[in-house]
Every structure is written in structure tokens, then in C-alpha cells.
Structure 1
Amino acid sequence: MRVILFTGKGGVGKTTTAAATAVRAARAGVKTLVMSTDPAHSLGDTLGVPLGAGGGGVPVDLEPGLSALQISPPHLLGESWRVVQDYLLAVLDTVGVDAVVAEELTRLPGAEEVAALLELRAQVESGPWDLVVVDCAPTAETLRLLALPEALAWHLERLLPAQRGLIRTLRPAAAAAAGVPLPDQAVLEAVTGWHRQMRQVHRILTGDQTSVRLVLTPERVVIAESRRTWTSLSLYGFVVDAVVVNRVFPDAAEGGREPDAWRASWNAAQQDGLVEVRESFAGLPLVVTPYLSTEPIGADALADLAQAQDGGTEVLAPVVHRGLAVERTDEGFLLVLPLPLAHASDLGLQRRDDELVVTVGEHRRVLTLPSALQRCVVEGASVRDGLLRVRFVPDEEVWPRG
């Protein structure tokens, strides 16, 4: 089983690229599901079939070996959120919040993201697929989606012990006196279930079966965003295994004709962009997709697009995972986290009890330190050759030397 997620700046053609990859794999004998987490719901338009957004989580068979799926958040969230929402409504009612306002306040934030993650987990764990291709939302939404399982699990781990302790220590009479209803067992079971599912999703997303492919066009603004995206994806522990450069114009001088100034200018700009892409993403396989004369809609046209691509990697190729690592040194320990293209000026580090908070730009990851590092203090950090290195030395108050 392989999972490949496609993302990129809005409008670069990631849906078309994801669909073309799925069609090519299916026609090569790989049983493939292509699914979309993009709220724009353009996957069906690209494939030329009506998928809809309310299909109850059932994939649509398109041709032998190829199925497609559009996410349906209400179907996937079901009763588990309703149980928690009812409890929150009761709490807000006790403090006099208007019912209509309370209903709005208790809507699940990020419902489509949670639904997409749950559906991805279900298809990976129980679906008959060799390959799951995911057409993700534009980069900002995708980063939020991929960071959600670890962040939500982190919060739930801290919420559950507190809630269980509250129920054990706060008797119903005391709760009534306080005027705030306690969560019942159904609420705790729902939250516990989310915690378990988010941990399962995170294992899938960061495992050896899953990779991300960046889709971009050879334009300076798009390349700049893609560089930041690679750094942010690495911060959260995700592997980028290829870059797809989309909509590359044919050479203006092809056919022996004198190129017009407009096409010659675009050719020159795109060639400069391709040079920048190769330099920025050195070491990653590069796929160059030509700008065809017609819009590729439908499986046959998508297969033609995939055939026209230059370069790339096999869809079932194993993922080379370089995630967080801890190394022993003469002085203590070294925590190493891949952060390609990161600069020291973009980074922030904060030690918080047994956690290390790493910030890159506007993105933040909370790392729970291994037990050995919890008994150490941070001595320093550096960024070099695409790696963040944080040096730890034993805290003599809790781990005496010798």
C-alpha cells in the first residue's frame, strides 16, 4: 500500500496532476483510489464524472482498477460530534448563552479536515487499494490538515486525564452546586475515540508508506511558496519524494518558425524558473509536465498528460524517511530534525518542561522529548545543510555526571 498526497499553490494544476497520476497507475495494473480533500470539489470535473460531495463515503468505480471519492463531512463525523456538541450546549445554557449563538459556537472547527483524515484512514486500513492518491487543498490548508492529527492528539492527551479526574473527584452534588454539568461517559468515549483515531492517522501520514509531492509552475512567486512548503512539511515529519513542474510551454522556436516576442519571453522566464527549481529542490526527483494544446479532462486525456511528462519516480517506490532522530555524543545528546531550505532567522526554539517547541515562520510543532532528553538542558542549536541540530547536555541536578 502506498499513499501519495499532492499539494501546491492554488491554480498550479495539482488536481489534474493527481488525477493523471492515478489514471496512469491504474492502467499499469495498480489498483488505485484517487480522493480529494479540497473543498473546491474539482476532482470530478477533472475526471469528467459526477462524484458529488454527499456520496456517503462510497468510492465511485471509473474503470478497471480506478476508483474516485469525494469526502462527505456530515456522513463521516456522524453521532460522535453530536454527543460532544450536546454537552457543550448544556454547559453554555447554564451560563445563559443564547441557543442560536451556542449552536454556532459549538460547530466543529475544521470539520472537513477531520472528515478527510478519517476517510483516508478508513480507506488505507480497509480498502482493497495498492495506491491511494490524495488531491489535497492548496498549501496553507494542506499544512493545517497534515498537522492536525498530532496537534489534536496532543490536546486530547491532556484533556482526557483532567476530565476523568474531574468526574472522580467532583460529586454530582458539587457539580450541581457549581451549576455546570459534568461530561458523561458517552462524551469521554467520543473524545477517547478521536484521540485513538488521530494517533492512527498520524502513523499513516508519517509512515514509510506515505509521501507528499509538490506541484508548482516555473514562476518565482510559486517557487518561493513551494520552498517554504517543503520546509514546513519537513517540520511536521512528512516526506516530499518528488516535485512536479506543471504547464511548461513548448519551445517557441519549434517548427523552424521565428518565435514571437510574447512566447519567447515566457520561454526565457520558464527556463530561468526551471533552473531555480532544480537548485532549490536538489536531490528530489523532478517531473516536468508540458502545457498541452487542450485542457485534459477525462481519463483518456489525463493518461495522455501523464505520458507526456518527463522524469519522475515510480508510484510504488519505497519512501526514504529521514525524520526526527536523537544521537548520543561525548557531551550528551544531539536532536536532529530535517528542515530543508530553512534559515536560522526563520526558526524559533523554546523548551517547555518535557517538550521542545520548534517554530518555522508561522508553523509550530510541539515535540515531546524522549525520557533521556527530559533530564537534559539545551546547550545550543544550529541549522546547517538542511538539518536542525539541538544540543542537549545532562542536567546535573537530576542526572549527575560520573
Structure 2
Amino acid sequence: MRTVLVTGLGGAGRTTVAAATALAAAGPGRRALLLTADPGDVLGAPLATDPTEIAEGLWAARVDSGAAFRTEFLALQERGAAVLELLGANRLAGEELTELPGSPQFALLRALADARTGGWDLAVLDLPPLRETIDLLALPEQLRRYLRRLLPPERQAARALRPVLAQLAGVPMPAQWLYETAARWDTELAAVQDLITADDTALRLVAEPGPAAADALRAARTGLALHGLRTEALVANRILPRHSSDTWLAALAAQQEKALGEWSGDWVPRCQVREIPHLGRDPRGPEDLASLAAGGALALAAPSGPAEPWERITDRRAEDGTLSWSIRLPGADKKSIGLVRRGDELLLRAGPFRRIVPLPSVLRRCTVSGAALADAVLTVRFTPDPQLWPRTP
């Protein structure tokens, strides 16, 4: 199954493009699924929470974050029933549960994982605005790190000792369900993380060409690179007719043309820039969506193969005794870059985006000796620690 993740700037028409992408891929003998949290009716009718066939080969469903939150909370409450009873806690009923902040993000991730088991040829996920989506797609990696820090796997090896320890101490030890739940969450998060970074997963950005979009895309480009997210296409939506005799319309078209030229210079060849014409009205229904997809503007290209490594280690010890770690960060500037070494991890900051990454084993025995940003590549220099490196006789 191929997966297409569609996001973009607020109001740029990302839901419409997601629906048109799914419709363009559907047809006889093919099964495409559109998942969206948008309550609108871009397909011409309100969507149900279960996949419903909208057109030949096209199914669509609305992601209900409230229902997903209640289901997950009640299941967790049931698995922890013994601990809750020990604490004298009263259980909550599904009717009194109101979803918490962050629930929509978790519901989208779960819907994405569930789509893998549905037998679809293509799944298109309509994601939140671009800045939120970058945080969302980085969430599985971050949560797995939190789980490893809070519940280290090595501690689980002591499960067999807990009953004995409980008798000696006279107090109950942490219940096994806590570690089992953590292991289950880690497995589910790992599956979503693998799907996001898979070679057959395409990330599409939707924006309307103009000065306001340029700054937002420039910052987002750095954030995507920081988290190792590869963009398949930048969809320029609502393109006005060129060479219009109307001076007002011609000025707007010229502004779009200038933005498209800048986007091509920034994004191509690593990412395609696709143009979608303005219909002169808000698209509604399969016919309008088919018009947007006409000409193959939203057709999926063949998977481009394994992504270029997000990071590289260059061995320069023969020259000056250092190792360099290179990270590609297009669009970044020196003032926005920050890095801190903390134990075996490196805390990276690029503008408003942050990522904590584990250092490769060879660099854990080194100290940071400098860093530089040149040609959109951040290079961090490491010097081997003589206390940790084997000494040659």
C-alpha cells in the first residue's frame, strides 16, 4: 500500500488537494482511501466515521478524535483495573469522557496505522496545517524516547523479583501491566514511525503562491529536513490564468509567477512543484475534484527508492584527529541554529523546531569541538576522548 500525507498552509486547500489526489488514484480495480478530520463536505456529502464508497474505487472516512480517545482511555482503564482498585479509584464511564488536547493528533496517527491493514492500494491522509504536521510526524520518535527514559527496557528484566520485593518491603511494586502497556505503545509507535519514513510514503505540501507563503515554506523546509522528512511534491494551488487582459488579475498572476520561480529554485530537484488551476469557485464534489486532477498534476510518481541519509559521518582522523557529523538543513541560517550535547544525545534546534537525536556509537566516545553551517549543511566536529578511545601501543 502506498501512503500520501497531505499538509499545507492554512486556507491553502489541503483537504481539497487530498481528496483530489485520492480520486485521481481511484478507479476500476483499485481501492483508494481518504482519511480526514475535516467536518466539511468537499466530496459532496458529509463523511461517516467508517470508510464509505464515494466514487468507483474511492472510499472516504472522517477521523473522529473524540471516539478514538474514549476507546483508548477505556481500554487502558480496563488493563489497569487491578491497580485502580488497589488505589480505591472510581472508574470513568465512556459517556463522561471529554477528549483532551492532543487527542486529534493521536487519532490521526492511529488511523494511519490502521489503514495499513485495510487492504487498500492507496491511503491519503489529510493532515493539519504544516507547522502542526511537522510536530505530529515527529511525535512517534519523541514519544518512544520518553518511554525509554521513563521505563527503561532493562528494568523490565527484574519483573520476576517484584513479588519477593513486595513482600519484603510491605508495599506493592509497579504492576506488570505498566511495562506491558509501554511495550505495546512502543511497538505501535515504531510501526507508525516506519510508515512515515517508508520509501513508498509521499509527503505533499499545499500552498497558494505569494509572498506570505514564501516565508512559511522556507521555515517549514528547515523543520522537515531537521526531522528527516522527505517531501515528494509542493502543490501550488489556485493558479490564476496567465496573460490575462485584466490588469488587476494580471498583477496577481505575475505575483504567483514570481513565487513559483523562487519555489523551483528552492525545492527542485529534490521535490517536484505541481500546479493546480483556480476553478473560479470553491471545488465541491467528484466532478470538480476530477477537474483539479486533470492533466496528471496530482498523479503519483513511482517511489524514488531509499531516501538520502539524513546524516553522514566523515572520518577525518588522518588529517586532524577529528570526526565530522554532517546534517543537511536547507533554508537554515546560522542565527537560528543551536546544539547542545547531553550525554549520548545531541539536542538540535533550527528556528522554532527542535529534535533530540542519539549520537552514533563512534561519536559517544568523543567531545564536541566545533560546528559550522555552510551550503545548507550543518557540520559538527568531534574530537576522540583519550579516556574512552583505546590507546595504541
What is the Cα deviation at residue 173 of structure 1?
A: 7.6
Aligned runs of 1:130-145 on 2, under 5 Å?
A: 130-145=121-136
Separation of aligned partners in 2, 1:305 and 1:138: 21
**Per-residue deviation at 1:372?**
1.4
Structure 1's 227 and 29: CA in aligned 2 closer, same or farther, altered over 3 A? Answer: farther
- Cα distance in 2 for partners of 1:93, 1:227 equals 53
Displacement of 1:119 in angstroms is: 1.9
1:171 counterpart SS class:
helix
Equivalent residues of 2:166, 2:173 under 8 A apart: no
Quick one: which amino acid aligns to residue 265 of structure 2? Answer: E
Once residues 98 and 359 of structure 2 are traced to their aligned partners in structure 1, the CA distance between those partners, rounded to angstroms, is 33
Cα deviations across residues 1-34 of structure 1 (Å, max 9, x unaligned)? 2211111111001111111111111138543111
Deviation for aligned residue 1:269: 1.8
Letter in 1 for 2:273: L
Aligned equivalent of 2:77, options 82, 94, 118: 82
* Distance (Å, rounded) in 1 between the aligned partners of 2:347 and 2:133: 21
CA distance in 1, matches of 2:167, 2:103: 32
Match 2:196 to one of 187, 205, 208: 205
1:288 aligns with 275
The correspondence of residues 120-269 of structure 1 with structure 2, limited to 5 A, is 120-124=112-116, 126-161=117-152, 164=156, 171=166, 174=169, 176=171, 183-251=174-242, 253=244, 258-260=245-247, 262-269=248-255
Give the counterpart letter for 1:46 in structure 2.
V
C-alpha distance in 1 between matches for 2:97 and 2:53 = 39
The aligned residue for residue 109 of structure 2 is 117
Cα deviations across residues 346-402 of structure 1 (Å, max 9, x unaligned)? Answer: 111111111111111122111111221111222222223332222223211100454
Contact 1:7 1:138 in 2 (8 A): yes
Q: CA RMSD in A?
A: 3.1
Distance 1:365 1:282 in 2: 25
Q: Specify the alignment match of 1:358 in structure 2.
A: 348
Check the 8 A contact 1:289/1:308 in 2, yes or no: no
CA gap of 1:313–1:22, structure 2 versus 1, over 3 A, is closer
Find the aligned partners of 1:133 and 1:228 in 2 and give their Cα distance: 25
Relative to structure 1, the CA distance from residue 33 to residue 106 in structure 2 (aligned partners, 3 Å threshold; closer, same or farther) is closer
SS of 2:346's equivalent? strand
* Per-residue deviation, 1:276: 2.1
Whether contact under 8 Å (1:322, 1:338) holds in the other structure is no
In structure 2, what is the Cα distance between the partners aligned to 1:292 and 1:30? 27
Q: Extract unaligned runs of 5+ from structure 1.
A: none
C-alpha displacement of 1:231: 1.3
Using structure 1 for the length normalisation, give the TM-score.
Answer: 0.83
Following TM superposition, by how much is the alpha carbon of 1:308 offset from its aligned partner in structure 2, in angstroms? 5.2
Count residues with an aligned counterpart: 377
Structure 2 counterpart SS, 1:204: helix
**Which residue identity is paired with 2:327?**
L
Deviations 1:268-303 (A, max 9, x none): 222222222222223221101111123221122201
Using the TM superposition, give the Cα deviation of residue 172 of structure 1 relative to its aligned residue in structure 2, in angstroms: 6.5
Contact 2:39 2:46 in 1 (8 A): no
The correspondence for 1:330, drawn from 301, 316, 336, is 316
Aligned to 1:41: 39
Kindly indicate whether the alpha-carbon contact (under 8 Å) linking 1:394 and 1:401 is maintained by their aligned counterparts in 2. no
CA distance in 1, matches of 2:7, 2:347: 26
Shift of 1:265: 2.4
Percent identical pairs in the alignment equals 35
